[in-house]
Structure 1
């Protein structure tokens, strides 16, 4: 690995680990979650950490790729800012859904999360097609999460 890659790869990897760890810590699969009615197509609980691990790895590579491909320092700062915003929204969804037990609020927040992924795909695609393509599985997974979130609301609401 070239010397110029060590620092961004290290920072991006630690950032992804922190976001994933916060999300996992906030996610409570205890009695409240287990007692929710879920659609028949709900993936088994064991699938979620496996898929998220792959998604976070792709997000990390996408962020590094986009940051390195940015043509100006301003573009590079925007890459970092957009990924940071997305990470915040990602963690906030888990907080709303699992800790506050408000799938209804989480659904509204999920729209912002989904739009932030689209924004990342479009913005990063301006200078790195690879960075954009690497984010597509994330968009698909969050779309599935949104459909699940919606079904949980329909099957269990109202909340609060």
Structure 2
């Protein structure tokens, strides 16, 4: 009984930090929608536009923070650790809640994962927010190391690639978790979150060895995630690998 309560408390804590919510009725309607075999061109355009706007917005956030940090660094009366703390806080916000800068619906929920057929080796739902919390911490540490290596600059290639990676991950979340497009999720997870994670890790590694080593764990996890997404797609009908038009089912 005590173990069950402790697990419940842990789950609530982790889900609160990572912003994982119970599915609302709108999501349930989306998940029960029937599909055609027709390419949803509108959805493709929305994904692209949403991703681009999120990247641009986060770059402007980096620019704003850079100006604040410059003012702090140039003020001798302010301790040097303040700018490092502010930078770490920024990367923490980006790593945990980058979706707040997205126009797409990026609701975190285990609804899709709970409702699909999964391979026997699939991790339990609670494992995902826990692992992502760990990865968020590693992202903060590695990004701060890169920022220090780049003389406290934010608008540099490694950090711009980092926000691109975050935006691609949020778009994938919309496709898989929110809209349950299992086919489209396969190429997107490979060409989006996984590939961009490899690129960011490689660039971080070149910039600061320790930063690259720290971030490399995210590549391992995303490799597992990509394989899992592929297996879920196989086990649930192998729908076409592009966004299908959703046609809401009529209430009887």
Scaled by the length of structure 2, the TM-score of the pair is 0.57
Report the equivalent of 2:91. Answer: 12
Structure 1 stretches of 4+ with a deviation exceeding 3 A read none
Structure having the larger proportion of residues in helix: 1
- When the two structures are aligned, how many residues end up with a matched partner? 158
Unaligned runs of 5+ in 2: 1-79, 245-252
Unaligned runs of 5+ in 1: none
Report the equivalent of 1:2. Answer: 81
Q: Distance in 2 between matches of 1:16 and 1:144?
A: 19
Q: Distance in 1 between matches of 2:217 and 2:178?
A: 26
After superposition, the CA RMSD in angstroms is 2.5
Report the equivalent of 2:136. Answer: 56
Post-superposition Cα deviations, 1:109-128, rounded to whole Å, max 9, x if no partner, equal 11122111111111111220
1:133 to 199, 213, 224: 213
Could you tell which deviates more after superposition, 2-11 or 135-144?
2-11
Report the equivalent of 2:109. Answer: 28
Report the equivalent of 1:40. Answer: 120
C-alpha spacing 1:34/1:3, structure 2 compared with 1 (3 Å): closer
Scaled by the length of structure 1, the TM-score of the pair is 0.86
* Structure 1 position 52, deviation (Å): 0.8
Report the equivalent of 2:181. Answer: 102
Larger radius of gyration: 2
Report the equivalent of 2:77. Answer: none
Matched residue SS, 1:26? coil
Q: Distance in 2 between matches of 1:17 and 1:51?
A: 12
C-alpha spacing 1:61/1:15, structure 2 compared with 1 (3 Å): same
